Amino acid sequence: MIVTNIGNSPLLPIEKTTHPPNNCPFFRAGDVRVAAVVTITTHHILWVREHNYIVDGLSKLHPLWDGEKLFQEARKIVIGEFQHIAYREYLPMTIGLQNMREHKLSTTFKYAYQSTIHGSISNAFTTAAFRFAHLMLDDIIFLDQKGRNPSRRNTTGVCKPGINSISCTSMHTITLDEALAGPDTLFSCESSMEYFIMGSIKKPVQISNDMRTARTIRRLGGSLDLIGVDIERNRDHGIPSYTMWRDFCELDKFTFDTDSDTHKSCILRKLQSVYRTEDAVELFIGASLENKLEGAVLGPTFACIIANQMYDTKYGDRFWYQNKKQFTRDQREEISRQTMSMILKRNTNIESVPVNPFVVPTNTSHFLTGDASFNFAPWKRTMVP
């Protein structure tokens, strides 16, 4: 894929037009939300680097393959890596191990494509449940230089970082407003992306279950109440009420009774002061404020909706990486060996990558050692069984 190099740091391709105040361009990607917030941009960059890494490996094995063939085969592998990491590392922490077992979502379950399952995205999932990440936004974003190789100031002239310029040698923070203003910070240093990644790894996140917090500090640019937008989106899409979704998930009936174990008593009192009846509570609000499941970041209702969606996404996809028609056994084993830490290790200059980047590292954390390379040997002869 096309990239823009800032020194030795490959980023995304850039638009021809620039934006004030620093005349920095926006990045181009397959998703228009690539510039929504700079931490999202870093993940786009990471997976573009991984794609190009896979292309380089395949091209050495198959020098006669043209660009289109290399692109499609690399795309297929990277999708498999993404699927495996999402279900093996990210999803269990999100919905809990019990939901993983009940919905056969673990990557160790024997896979069989089911043609009767519709793999499309449900309205409740995309409109409410998977918007839970909006509650994880903080008004301060950390950029951490420690744990990666020294960086140099960008002297390429791509743009002139100004108000959002960061130090290339020390810890730094930016506000959420600055992160939403554009990708200027990624042009400050040759390794700005690594700053954001290490800051994200080291800073714990939490989902707010306090109405005041959810209402006030989740504001973008001081003018957009993101939670208000989520509520409006639920209503615009005609999403059934929170109580109906709890019934769908076969959970205990929701009431404003403060003896209920679904929410904290203070939350229940606040909900009762806003909504006339339990049936009037929106899915996004009711589920966002639930008590969390053990070993998960979500409560039972959102976990149920997401688990059902992930089941359909997995077993209703005939191109799923575990489908025997997609890859040979050796190829599937190599894709299943990949971890988020390996992707980070081989595509960034971060020296110390935690074995599990989704968990905040401590003094006793294990860090990835040894070779993080992808083994291309299973792709030497054939691409499919």
Residue 95's SS3 state is helix
Annotate 128-159 with DSSP letters as a single string: TGGGGGGGG--SEEEE--TTB----B--S-S-
CA–CA separation, 334 and 376 (whole Å): 8
**How confident is the prediction along the chain (385 residues), in pLDDT tens digits per residue?**
777 776 667 888 877 766 655 667 778 888 878 877 778 888 999 999 999 999 999 999 999 999 999 999 999 999 999 999 999 999 999 999 999 999 999 999 999 999 999 999 999 999 999 999 888 877 777 777 654 443 444 444 445 544 344 455 555 677 766 666 666 667 666 557 788 888 888 888 766 665 444 443 334 445 667 788 899 999 999 999 999 999 999 999 999 998 889 999 999 999 999 999 999 999 999 999 999 999 999 999 999 999 999 999 999 999 999 999 999 999 999 999 999 999 999 999 888 888 999 888 887 678 888 889 999 999 997 554 4
Distance of CA 3 to the CA centre of its chain: 21
**Comparing C-alpha atoms, which of 84, 13, 71, 5 is closest to residue 44?**
13
Cα R_g (the chain), whole angstroms: 22
DSSP conformation class of 367: B
Do the Cβ atoms of 118 and 312 come closer than 8 Å?
A: yes
Annotate 186-230 with DSSP letters as a single string: GGTBTTHHHHHHHHHHHS-------HHHHHHT-EETTTEEHHHHH
pLDDT tens-digit readout, 119-174: 999 999 999 999 998 888 777 777 776 544 434 444 444 455 443 444 555 556 77
CA–CA separation, 340 and 113 (whole Å): 25
Backbone angles phi, psi at 112, to 5 degrees: -145, 115
Report pTM. Answer: 0.87
Q: Which two tokens stand for residue 171?
A: 């810890």
CA–CA separation, 235 and 248 (whole Å): 19
Beta strands in the chain (DSSP E): 4-6, 9-11, 14-19, 24-27, 140-143, 172-175, 219-220, 224-225
CA–CA separation, 360 and 339 (whole Å): 16
pLDDT tens-digit readout, 21-56: 566 777 888 887 887 777 888 899 999 999 999 999
Neighbours of 331 (CB within 10 A): 23
Straight-line distance from the first to the last Cα atom of the chain, in angstroms, rounded to the nearest whole number: 27
CA–CA separation, 128 and 130 (whole Å): 6
Neighbours of 22 (CB within 10 A): 17
pLDDT for the residue 385: 46
Neighbours of 72 (CB within 10 A): 11
